[in-house]
Amino acid sequence: MSTGQDYHRLFHRHVAQTSPNPLGLDIVKAEGCYLYDRDGKEYLDLIGGISVCNTGHRHPRVVAAIKDQADRYLHLLVYGELIQTPQVEYAALLAGQLPATLDSVYFTNSGAEATEGAMKLAKRITGRTEIVAFNRSYHGSTQGALSIMGDEYWRNAFRPLLPGIRHVEYNTPEALAAITDRTACVIAETVQAERGVFAPQAAWLRLLRQRCDETGALLVLDEIQTGFGRTGTLWAFQAYDVIPDILLLGKALGGGLPMGAFIAHRERMWALTGDPVLGHITTFGGHPLCCAAGRASMEVLLGSGWIDEVARKEALFRRLLIHPAIKTVRSRGLLIAVEYDSFGQNKRVIDACIAAGVLTDWYLFAPHCLRIAPPLSITETQIEKACAIILSSSDFFP
**Cβ proximity to ligand PLP, 169 vs 213, nearer residue:** 169
State which of residues 56, 117, 250, 254 lies at the interface with ligand PLP (CB under 6 A). 250
Please answer whether residues 148 and 139 qualify as being in contact, where contact means their C-beta atoms are separated by less than 8 angstroms: yes
State which of residues 138, 237, 362, 363 lies at the interface with ligand PLP (CB under 6 A). 138
Residue type, 266: R
Note whether 333 binds ligand PLP by CB under 6 A: no
**Cβ proximity to ligand PLP, 55 vs 137, nearer residue:** 137
Report d(CA 196, CA 335) in Å as an integer: 9
Tally Cβ neighbours within 10 Å of residue 47.
18
Q: Work out how close the CB of 132 gets to ligand PLP at its nearest, in angstroms, rounded to a whole number.
A: 16
Peptide bond into 160 cis (omega under 30): yes
Note whether 260 binds ligand PLP by CB under 6 A: yes
Give the phi and the psi of residue 368 in degrees, each rounded to 5: -90, 5
Q: Work out how close the CB of 383 gets to ligand PLP at its nearest, in angstroms, rounded to a whole number.
A: 23
**Cβ proximity to ligand PLP, 140 vs 255, nearer residue:** 140
Q: Kindly indicate which of the ranges 90-98, 105-113, 173-181, 380-388 contains the residues binding ligand PLP, using the contact rule CB under 6 A.
A: 105-113
**Cβ proximity to ligand PLP, 84 vs 110, nearer residue:** 110
**Cβ proximity to ligand PLP, 325 vs 334, nearer residue:** 334
Q: Work out how close the CB of 43 gets to ligand PLP at its nearest, in angstroms, rounded to a whole number.
A: 21
Note whether 110 binds ligand PLP by CB under 6 A: yes
Q: Work out how close the CB of 183 gets to ligand PLP at its nearest, in angstroms, rounded to a whole number.
A: 20
Q: Is 324 exposed, middle or buried (0-12, 13-18, 19+ CB in 10 A)?
A: exposed
Among candidate residues 228, 212, 204, 172, the one with its CA nearest the CA of residue 56: 228
Note whether 32 binds ligand PLP by CB under 6 A: no
Peptide bond into 276 cis (omega under 30): yes
Please answer whether residues 193 and 138 qualify as being in contact, where contact means their C-beta atoms are separated by less than 8 angstroms: yes
Q: Which position's Cβ is nearest ligand PLP?
A: 111
Q: Please list every residue from 50 through 79 that binds ligand PLP, using CB under 6 A.
A: 50
State which of residues 193, 252, 326, 358 lies at the interface with ligand PLP (CB under 6 A). 193
**Cβ proximity to ligand PLP, 18 vs 156, nearer residue:** 18
Q: Work out how close the CB of 50 gets to ligand PLP at its nearest, in angstroms, rounded to a whole number.
A: 6
**Cβ proximity to ligand PLP, 48 vs 382, nearer residue:** 48
Report d(CA 336, CA 315) in Å as an integer: 11
**Cβ proximity to ligand PLP, 222 vs 245, nearer residue:** 222
Name the site residues for ligand PLP (rule: CB under 6 A).
Answer: 50, 110-112, 115, 138-140, 189, 193, 222, 224-225, 250, 260
